[in-house]
């Protein structure tokens, strides 16, 4: 392997890849990489990471047909879109319902010095929109302050 490992692709298995690709393209302005298009795949340029949308046929191609259940699956992974301004976090949350998504957690300031919102796309996938407000607050400072955002168990 040459070079350092990096995340190159994030793929979402979608019931309707055209609709889901359009959702993210409209929400974030990501352009389609048309050269990657196939009858069962759409791909967006997410500025350094390719965001792909696979049709249900991909379950068989990947050897995971047994995982293609139609129910609302538990959240096992999510991705985060980093934006350049805290106001964009708020604006994206306000826009997501117009695009067919849902606000899971409205915009808020995190304990580690970011502004973010948790959203759901039209197919139920969870993603965050984040803006790093300043340097990440070290956990030791948060712990010393006593303002713990969750219960710590050992």
Among 67-71, 95-99, 117-121, 126-130, which is the least confidently predicted range? 67-71
- 66-87 b/e (C-beta count within 10 Å ≥ 16 → b): eeeeeeeeeeeeeeebebeebe
Q: Can you give the residue range of the structural domain that contains 37?
A: 1-66
The three-point CA angle 29-125-67 to 5° equals 130
pLDDT of residue 72: 60
Domain boundary among the residues 35, 66, 97 is at 66
Task: Determine, yes or no, domain membership for 100.
Answer: yes
Long-range own/partner contacts, residues 86-94 (CB < 8 A, 24 or more apart): 86/115, 86/131, 86/133, 88/129, 88/131, 89/115, 89/116, 89/117, 89/129, 89/130, 89/131, 90/115, 90/117, 92/27, 92/28, 92/117, 92/119, 92/129, 93/117, 93/119, 93/129
What mean pLDDT is predicted for residues 30-46? 94
Asked whether residue 55 falls in the same domain as residue 103, the answer is: no
Question: Please, what is the average pLDDT of the chain?
Answer: 87
Which residue has better confidence, 74 or 136? 136
For the record, the structure tokens of 14 come out as 């979608």
Residues above pLDDT 90, as percent of the chain: 59
Q: How many domains does the chain divide into?
A: 2
pLDDT of residue 129: 94
Asked whether residue 90 falls in the same domain as residue 137, the answer is: yes
Domain boundary among the residues 41, 66, 91 is at 66
* pLDDT grade for 70, boundaries at 50, 70 and 90: low
């Amino acid at each position: 392997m040459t070079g350092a490992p990096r995340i190159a692709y994030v793929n979402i298995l979608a019931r309707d890849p055209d609709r889901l690709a359009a959702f993210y393209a409209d929400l974030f302005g990501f352009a389609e990489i048309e050269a990657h298009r196939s009858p069962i795949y759409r791909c967006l340029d997410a500025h350094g990471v390719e965001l792909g949308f696979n049709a249900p046929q991909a379950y068989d191609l990947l050897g995971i047909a047994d995982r293609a259940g139609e129910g609302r699956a538990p959240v096992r992974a999510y991705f985060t879109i980093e934006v350049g301004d805290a106001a964009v976090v708020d604006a994206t949350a306000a826009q997501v319902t117009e695009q067919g998504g849902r606000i899971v957690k409205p915009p808020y300031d995190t304990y580690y010095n970011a502004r973010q919102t948790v959203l759901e796309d039209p197919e139920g996938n969870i993603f965050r929109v984040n803006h790093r407000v300043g340097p990440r607050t070290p956990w030791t400072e948060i712990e010393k302050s006593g303002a713990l955002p969750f219960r710590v168990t050992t």
